[in-house]
Structure 1
Amino acid sequence: MKQLLLRHKQILFFIIAGGLSAIVEIGSFKLFSVYLPRVFASEYNLYGIKYPFSNIFSTSCGIITNYFLSIWFVFERGKHSKRKEFAYFISVSVVSTIISLILFQILYHYVFKDAFDLGFYVLSQEMMSKISSILIVSLLNYSVKKKVIFNG
């Protein structure tokens, strides 16, 4: 078991960094989705898009957290300069954000129709959509970041 963990250390650290980033993203989404509609009434439904600003702001928090955790714990620096590496990371993250926003809307409108009661916590339609879109996009992010940005 120890050998398996050592062999897949990078994937394990990516999962941990992704998990921590997801906690930041989900936590900030919860805060934004509760407080932003009080300031922007259209936040709940902007031309049929549910929680657009909450999604963008929370995803940005998650991206920044993930960047720093990735360079500190997950990936070794590649052949790119720090500036170019950061630009690539942000570019991939912007594309991932767009994919995540689209997935969120699809999941929110068509998949998760009701809240899910866990007994100790109730997952709302918004939270289930957000968590699911994060998990799906994470798979894409790992492979692109490893192969393109950090050349590993």
Structure 2
Amino acid sequence: MTTHDTAARTIAELDAGDIVQAFEVMHELRPHLTDADEFAERVREQRREGYRLVVAFDETRRLVSLAGFRHLNSLYAGSHLYIDDLSTLPSARGQGHAGALLRWVDEEARRLGCAGVHLDSGTPRHDAHRLYLASGFVIPAFHFAKSL
């Protein structure tokens, strides 16, 4: 686990053995994930595809926020980090944890030489959208999906 401390929080990248710690926070965003061990196994599988998980602990050392992301390279965006998951426990929202994680991801993208950071967000998540816009994100496109 790699860590970065600030006055009110610690940011750390979780190793494979620590993933289960993030289940409660991920469950807030992905309620269909109902088993902590299954969640940890799915994240370990995704790690083989480059998925990384960085988390924020509050001043009491409770894990309260997370960002799951991958380093991608595409024709439309070049080298970039894509945030798959960004979640904060309801009791910890509005305290700057997600913003701190977004800044951490920005720094990591710069370190890796990326051209930018991308994410998708559900249309009803207005509080999240305000955070993204305040963090410098723009809305360059609509995301379309089709279930098969």
Q: Do the two structures share a fold, i.e. TM-score over 0.5?
A: no
Normalised TM-score (structure 2): 0.29
Q: Work out which of the two has the higher radius of gyration on C-alpha atoms and give 1 or 2.
A: 1
Q: Which has the higher contact order (CA 8 A, sep 6+)?
A: 1
TM-score calculated relative to the size of structure 1: 0.28
Return the structure number with greater helix share. Answer: 1
